[in-house]
Amino acid sequence: MIIDCHVHLLTAKGYVEKLISEMDRLEIDKICLLAGKNYMRFWGSRMASNEQVIEAYRKYPDRIIPMAFLEFGIDPPAMIDDLYAKGFRAFGEISKPRLNYNDDACMEYYARAAAYNMPMLLHTGTVFRIEEDQQYDVDSSRMRPIYLDRAARKFPNLKIIGAHLGNPWYEEAAMTLFWNPNIYFDLSGSILKRKDAAWFNETLWWTPERMKEMARSKDTHYTSALAHPFSRICFGSDVPIEEMEQVVDEYHTIMNDLKLPQELQKRVMGGNAQEIFNVQEQR
């Protein structure tokens, strides 16, 4: 099963139908479909609302995982109760918060999401500019990947996907991934266009072979049975429909260059998302 964990729903006419058609062509089984505020503009179009995402889900329930949008520091945490009641079972892409992700005031959002077992996709790293940046006091540094660490430790049953591997705070993202088994990252954005296999081997360094070497050296800090770093990397495209195929190819290229086993590649392209969102195999 192939699952794209990062797809934005736009308000362009017929967008959902075009998206489903491209999924069929690329043999993508499911997508996590994201809403957003109407001031957010992607590729010349506006982001769809939570209501429009749910409408798309009801039309294609076997192909869409609906992800609700909310704003940390603006929307009340109790909004999560309402979104769950409407049928949402996950959140994304949370971005441009008014607070650092590890702020005390954010903990209630995580607590409620964990109580409902609703995974979260959070933007990490720098974010695109919009005309309303000044009005909404946008600050990319509030979305540093290390700020996910507190929530991951405080709510160990909450699954969190960090988008974009923390660009440009890649090493910070890598070590957040290393220490937190409930943290995942996608490789959407420019990373697959700019980074090669050598860079990934250096940044996501804890392969089974290296962990065995550390165990033989009796390095007690790193001898725990940690899985391969790509066992918690998820396929996410975050592009317009016409660019999805290119991103699929980029994921396969880097995984082949890294000589990842086929079973691990399957986890990246869908298996990890299956576990995160509790998706059952279709028959």
In Å, how far from its chain's centre is CA 83? 19
Task: Identify whether 116 is part of a domain.
Answer: yes
Number of folded domains in the chain?
1
Task: Identify whether 105 is part of a domain.
Answer: yes
Which structural domain range is residue 35 located in?
3-277
Q: Note the pLDDT tens digit of each residue in 45-78.
A: 888 999 999 999 999 999 999 999 999 999 999 9
Task: Identify whether 257 is part of a domain.
Answer: yes
With a cut of 70, which residues of the chain have pLDDT below it? 38-43, 215, 217-226, 282-283
Q: For the domain that residue 241 is a member of, what is the CATH number? A: 3.20.20.140
Whole-model pTM?
0.93
Task: Identify whether 75 is part of a domain.
Answer: yes
* Joined tokens for residue 251: 């994921």
Q: Note the pLDDT tens digit of each residue in 113-154.
A: 999 999 999 999 998 787 777 777 888 999 999 999 999 999
> Is 129 strand, coil or helix?
coil
Q: Where are the alpha helices (DSSP H) in the chain?
A: 15-26, 50-59, 79-85, 107-115, 148-154, 170-179, 191-194, 197-203, 208-216, 244-257, 262-266, 272-277
Confidence (pLDDT) at 160: 98
Task: Identify whether 283 is part of a domain.
Answer: no
Task: Identify whether 194 is part of a domain.
Answer: yes
Beta pairing class for 233-234 and 183-186: parallel
Task: Identify whether 84 is part of a domain.
Answer: yes
Handedness of CA 88, 32, 75, 103 (dihedral sign): positive
Task: Identify whether 282 is part of a domain.
Answer: no
Burial environment of residue 168 by CB neighbours within 10 A (0 to 12, 13 to 18, 19 or more): middle
